[in-house]
Amino acid sequence: MYRIADSATKSLTTDEGLASLTSLSEFARSMQGVDPGSMETIMLPVAYDKADPNRVVAAQPQAKTLWKAIREDAPIPESAKKSPATGG
C-alpha cells in the first residue's frame, strides 16, 4: 500500500517540502489537534492566461491584495473566500 501511495504522490506537483509521502504524512500529523471548524478555505483569484487559454494565472490586483493580507496576518479579503465552483 505504501508503494502505491508513494507512487501516486510522485505524479502530483507539490511544494518541494511536501514532495514525498513521508513529508505529507508528517504534515498531516502536525495538523492533529487543529479544529476544522476554525479553518477557512481561501482561493487565489485567477484569470485565463491571455497567451494560453488552457492555463490560469493570478488575477491582479486581487491576488496581490490576498498575498499582502497573508504576509501581514491581516483579514483575508472576502473575494478570496468565495468559491468559483459554487458561485460564491
Q: Which residue has the cell 504534515?
A: 27
- Under the banding of pLDDT at 50, 70 and 90, the label for residue 1 is low
CA-to-CA separations, 64 to 61, 68, 80, in angstroms, rounded: 5, 6, 11
Q: What is the pTM of this model?
A: 0.57
Instruction: Convert the pLDDT of each residue in 38-47 to its tens digit.
Output: 888 888 888 9
Inform me whether the pLDDT recorded for 16 exceeds 90. no
Q: Which cell numbers hold the place of 86? A: 459554487
